[in-house]
Amino acid sequence: MNVKHVNTRNIITKTKLPSADYTVNPYIGCTHGCVYCYAEFMARFSGHNDEKWCNFLDVKENYDFPTDKFQDKTILIGSATDPYNHFEKQFEKTRSILLHLTDSLAHIEILTKSPIVLRDIDILSRMKNIAVGFSLSVSDEIARITEPAAPLPSERIEAMRVLHSAGIRVFAFISPVFPLFSDYQAIVKSVEKYAAYIGFENLNLRGGFRSRVFALVKEHFPQIFQRFISIYYSKQAFYKYWHTQEREIHEFMQTMKNLPYKMQFFHGDAKKK
C-alpha cells in the first residue's frame, strides 16, 4: 500500500448526492478491495492514473475547516472513501474531523464498513445530530470474495448493536443490492432492532469495474454467470430487472411495520419507465 500525505484546501465540499448537501472524505483511496467499488474514478483525478485502486491511500492534511455555515444541512462523511479504513487507526483523521464537528448544528452522517467507528463513541455520544450507517450487501461467505479486505458484515452488524445500545442513531445501507447474491430480507431482519432506517442502492455497473465483476462471478459462481450478465445485457434488461426488484423491496418493507426506508436505485442515472 502506497501511503502519502497530501495538502487539501477544503475538507468539506458541496455534493449533488440526493441525501446530502456536503461531503467529507478524509482520504483518497481505500483499503477494502471491494470488487464493485464505484469510487475508483478518483484515481485519475488525484494523480494515481498508473496505480491500481486500493493500492494507494492519500491522507488529507492542512485543510480549512469552516464550521459556521452548515446549520440544517446534511454532511456525509465517507462518500468516496471509507473514513474508517484500516489506516484510520494510525492517522485518526476521521476522529479529528468529528472533534471539529462536535458542536455543529448540521446533520452529520457517517458511512462505513468498519467497527473501528466504535473507538469514537466518546465523541459520537456528545454530538447533537449524528447517524452512523453501515454498508451491507451480502453474507460473510460471499463478502470474503466480493469485499476481501473489509470487515465482515457480521462484524458491522455487531457494531450497529453496540452503537445503538450506546444511544447513537444507526442505519443500514444495503449497497449494493448485488443481483442473485444479496439477501436483503435477511439483512433487514438482522438489523431491524438497531436501525433507525434502511437504505437501498442497486448495483449499477459502469466503467472498468463492470468487466471485473463479470470475471469474479464467472470464476467463483459459474453456475449463475449467464443469469447474472443477462441483467446487464442491455438497458432494457437492466431497467426491467431493477424495477422489479424495486417493487419487491417496497412490498417487503411494507411488512416491516414502521421501519422507515429510502430507495436510491438508479443513482446518477435517468430513471427509465
pLDDT in tens, 236-253: 999 999 999 999 999 999
pLDDT value at 188 more than 50: yes
Omega prior to 176 cis, within 30 of 0: yes
- What is the pLDDT of the chain when averaged over all its residues? 91
Contact 142, 150 (CB under 8 A): no
The Cα 8–Cα 251 span in angstroms is: 45
The Cα 238–Cα 229 span in angstroms is: 10
In terms of C-beta density within 10 A (0-12 exposed, 13-18 middle, 19 or more buried), how is residue 273 classed? exposed
Domains of the chain by start residue, with CATH:
2-263 (3.80.30)
Say what the pLDDT of residue 66 is.
76
The four Cα atoms 67, 16, 259, 167 give a dihedral, to 10 degrees, of -20
Confidence of residue 270 (pLDDT cuts 50, 70, 90): very low
Q: What phi, psi does 12 have (nearest 5°)?
A: -105, 125
Say what the pLDDT of residue 53 is.
65
Q: Is 183 or 204 the better-scoring residue by pLDDT?
A: 183
Say what the pLDDT of residue 43 is.
54
Say what the pLDDT of residue 51 is.
65
Strands (E), the chain: 2-7, 12-14, 22-24, 27-29, 56-61, 74-77, 107-112, 130-136, 169-177, 195-202, 261-263
Q: Which tens digit of pLDDT belongs to each residue from 124-158? A: 999 989 999 999 999 999 999 999 999 999 999 99
- Residue carrying C-alpha cell 462484524: 155
**Coil, helix or strand for 70?**
coil
Residue 272 corresponds to which cell in the numbers above?
427509465
Q: Considering only CA atoms, which of 21, 53, 51 is closest in space to residue 37?
A: 53
- Residue carrying C-alpha cell 474514478: 41
- Residue carrying C-alpha cell 418493507: 253
pLDDT value at 267 more than 70: no
The Cα 66–Cα 160 span in angstroms is: 30
